[in-house]
Chains A and B, each alone.
Chain A
């Protein structure tokens, strides 16, 4: 069974540019999470989807971040415009049951 797939793995952009990350969860997993992981820190939840509905986006900075999961399968996280402080690893996870989250390898974003 394939795991959670994320792309790209690495992205370098200049500040004020837009960037998008893609996540394809494990087949059959209805719940999808996007996490932000700063250097030396644990992951912090940005947004959680149940199928196509965002059920927890309280930690998503909505002035510059947006996410979508239109068909309840894969998801895209966007930042526009990016700031220097957005440099971090963006992790996607999926689950089919409570608390059993499976993580992708992450996208490492560097904003210059």
Chain B
């Protein structure tokens, strides 16, 4: 069965600094991979997704992620964070024909002014 690990529960970065959130997945074949963001009191918003093709994926709000099969990773990056990026970030993996998505436990991003 597929699973997702986000090793960092909390991450704190200064505004303007670069960001990398880690995500490792477990799945036997090529997975579908996602990053979602959840602001306080809000639902989840899709930042980007990887299905196939180019392993570097561009998303909304200046985010990108890179699929590395050899490391079973799909890390999220942003070159310069803004205070509005403070939120909870969820990595997710989808696999199989039933469109089921498994979410990680999330990483809460804090931004220092």
Contact = CB atoms under 8 A, between A and B. Distances in A.
Given A31-B99, A99-B99, A42 B90 contact: yes
Nearest to A6: B43
B94 A99 contact: yes
Interface stretch (A13-21, A65-73, A79-87, A101-109): A101-109
Contacts of B42: 105-106
A44 interface: yes
B46 interface: yes
Contacts of B4: 42
A48 B99 CA distance: 10
Contact of A42 (B41, B51, B104): B104
A104 B105 contact: no
A91 interface: yes
Interface of B: 4, 9, 32, 34, 36, 41-46, 49, 51, 90, 92, 94, 98-101, 103-106
